[in-house]
Amino acid sequence: MKLMTNGSACRAAPDLGGAGATGAKSITAEEALKAEDARYAAQTGGDFAAMERMFGDDLVYVHSSGDLDDKMGFIEAQRSRTVVYRTMRRSEAKVRVYGPVAIITGRGKFDVTVQGEDRTVNILFHSIWVRRGGDLRFISWHAAAA
């Protein structure tokens, strides 16, 4: 899997889709958790069409290893089966909502196969969702080994 290294990751912050705009419909905590559950189902079920729909084009995905992916790299690693998410479970989730932006923080326990090697990873994470055009989009993930 080709991942960008942290040193090459310098770029502008993603567009939050009108986070400061008036009239943007707020996300509820329930909507954010439902979207996160749908993402987990898409990843463990290999539903690449769903991933392409729900992931923002500006997705920034920081793995617990410190490696960085964008939307296409993250999906391609799964499509090629370089990375296979077998189970994804979260606990201690807390959701903070800022209008059309929701930040989920918590713990995760993921069973994943990376380049043919089965692993169980325990992480601390944040996941950021934004409402764009009425739909929720997954725009950021940052995980650290727990």
Q: Phi and psi (nearest 5°) for 100?
A: -85, 15
Total-model pTM: 0.84
User: Tell me, what's the pLDDT at 13?
Assistant: 43
Instruction: Decide: 125 and 141 in contact? Cβ < 8 Å.
Output: yes
- Distance from chain centroid for Cα 79: 16
DSSP bridge pairs for 118: 113
Mean pLDDT of 82-109: 98
User: Tell me, what's the pLDDT at 39?
Assistant: 98
Give whole-number Cα distances, 7 to 33, 75, 105, 145, in Å: 32, 22, 25, 20
Element (H or E) spanning 39, and its range?
Answer: helix 29-45
- Does residue 24 register a pLDDT over 80? no
